[in-house]
Amino acid sequence: MECRNWIDGQQLGAEGGGLLPVIDPSTGETFARLAQSSEVDIDWAVQAARRASQGPWSRLSAAQRSQLLLRCARTLADAREELARLESRDTGKPLRQAQSDAAAIVRYFEFYAGAVDKLHGQTIPLGWEMTAFTLREPLGVTAHIIPWNYPLQIFGRSVAASLAAGNTCVVKPAEDASLSLLRVAELLHEAGLPAGVLNICTGLGKEAGQALAAHTDINHISFTGSPDTGRQVALQAAQNFVPVTLELGGKSPQIVFSDADLDAALPVVVNAIVQNAGQTCSAGSRVLIQRAIYGDFTERLAEAFKALLTGAASDNLDCGPLISAQQQARVRSYLENLDQDGIVVLAKGKLDSKAPAGGFYQVPVLLDHVPVNHRLAQEEIFGPVLVAQPFGTEQEAIDMANGTPYSLVAGVWTRDGARQVRMARQLRAGQVFVNNYGAAGGVELPFGGTGQSGIGREKGFEALYALTSLKTVALRHAAS
């Protein structure tokens, strides 16, 4: 299979003819090739998006865009299983997870189709002779740099919102996970999205991604990925005074108090780190457990971890492989020299005997009593590694939870209502979940962090504010 870029409503090979291998993470084998885009391809895509932003697309009413996005949602829904299978093969995620991602992209298109005709400006009282109001206008061409962990979902949350806001888009998916998005582009075209409104260029981050971030004719960048690359993207954006939304991951805590419903907490705490093999920006990668129940709860966690099975994506087990040999090496590097630091492995999952030898597997690992300043407790590992830490008082839990450079998400498990509110208010996080984690996807809920977790918010209505420009109009007129 040879995949081309999607530019101006058609497939186009990369100008230089370069191709990149697409590797199946479950086997390590190459099964397709992708266009290796350069600055030239990116420029074609941006030019196509600019032309489209000035054409009939710009004159659609919000209600017409809403109808079109609903048609997009229906077309994606019809292709859900095909998209899930493609995503599962390309990223190594178990089919069940890919199915849930395919359902999520449909929800994003539905949500933004329903939201866009409710996006109103304001009127501002200035007296009898003045009428002032605000208009929310499209920004123009928006750039979307998408990582490999949830291509369908992350495309849905940023591109559906941007299209709803009336922009046109240029997307650079990760070289490790582009296939589902190229198919989505075709499907959206079939659903009626005009040529040039959505363009996708595949390729390397340091080539195509860098060229997109540095392009002088884009009006916004949505980036999801690592803090180091996010910083480079933000510097490029600053050169051109382009606003950015950066979602840069986290080291999110799950805080379990001794009065919590432990039966309810246990499977959620496990899933929050095992889902997508821990390659989730909002992964619950630290579990802070109140001392009185630390022994009991870690014992139950250990039993659950020992029962987890890792294997090929198509076998649909608890955990698939990691995305690449590079990511596997990165996660393994965190698990070296544990003895030297006195860190005990409380439990590990098992590798399925049928897992192909060339796959990039890492079984889930539960680590005991990790000191708060240890890199395992401070850095985003992006693998199925859960760090357990005991705490005494509520204040200690807050200090530990807030004690990393990240601040994306936090989970709190307690039956005490007053404590739920105190914790929610004092935790430094863009989202706090009480007695749940993730609200089953939460398409409607604004999402994003501060500090090393990034800048700005995606999802919900909030994304529409970031993806539009606010214009104030003040009219002086006769009083009567």
Nearest Cα residue to 113 out of 57, 72, 59, 58: 72
Judged by beta carbon, residue 247 or residue 318, the one nearer ligand NDP is 247
179: Cβ contacts below 8 Å, ≥ 6 apart: 3, 22, 32, 34, 86, 87, 89, 90
CA dihedral 276, 316, 174, 12 (to 10 degrees): -160
Judged by beta carbon, residue 98 or residue 346, the one nearer ligand NDP is 98
Burial class (CB in 10 A: 0-12, 13-18, 19+), 72: buried
- Report in angstroms how near the CB of residue 207 gets to ligand NDP at its nearest: 8
Judged by beta carbon, residue 108 or residue 382, the one nearer ligand NDP is 382
The answer to whether the beta carbons of residues 76 and 109 sit under 8 Å apart is: yes
Segment holding 122, helix H or strand E: none
- Report in angstroms how near the CB of residue 290 gets to ligand NDP at its nearest: 29
- Report in angstroms how near the CB of residue 107 gets to ligand NDP at its nearest: 18
Judged by beta carbon, residue 140 or residue 147, the one nearer ligand NDP is 147
- Report in angstroms how near the CB of residue 469 gets to ligand NDP at its nearest: 24
Judged by beta carbon, residue 234 or residue 346, the one nearer ligand NDP is 234
Return the CA Rg of the chain: 23
> What φ, ψ does residue 177 adopt, rounded to 5°?
-160, 75
The answer to whether the beta carbons of residues 143 and 215 sit under 8 Å apart is: yes
DSSP state of 194: P
Judged by beta carbon, residue 41 or residue 175, the one nearer ligand NDP is 175
The answer to whether the beta carbons of residues 422 and 402 sit under 8 Å apart is: no
- Report in angstroms how near the CB of residue 120 gets to ligand NDP at its nearest: 32
- C-beta nearest to ligand NDP: residue: 205
Judged by beta carbon, residue 47 or residue 453, the one nearer ligand NDP is 453
- At residue 67, the 3 state secondary structure works out as helix
Report the C-alpha gap between 437 and 268 in whole angstroms. Answer: 7
166: region left, alpha or beta (phi > 0 left; psi from -120 to 50 alpha): left
- Annotated catalytic residue, options 110, 247, 380, 458: 247
Site residues for ligand NDP per CB under 6 A: 145-147, 149, 172, 174-176, 204-206, 209-210, 213, 224-226, 229, 232-233, 247-249, 281, 327, 330, 380, 382
Residue 87 annotated in active site: no
- Report in angstroms how near the CB of residue 206 gets to ligand NDP at its nearest: 5
**Secondary structure in 3-state letters for 354-418:** CCCCCCCCCCCEEEECCCCCCHHHHCCCCCCEEEEEEECCHHHHHHHHCCCCCCCEEEEECCCHH
Report the C-alpha gap between 101 and 186 in whole angstroms. Answer: 18
Residue written as token pair 């040879």: 2
Report the C-alpha gap between 55 and 200 in whole angstroms. Answer: 19
- Report in angstroms how near the CB of residue 233 gets to ligand NDP at its nearest: 5
Catalytic (active-site) positions: 247
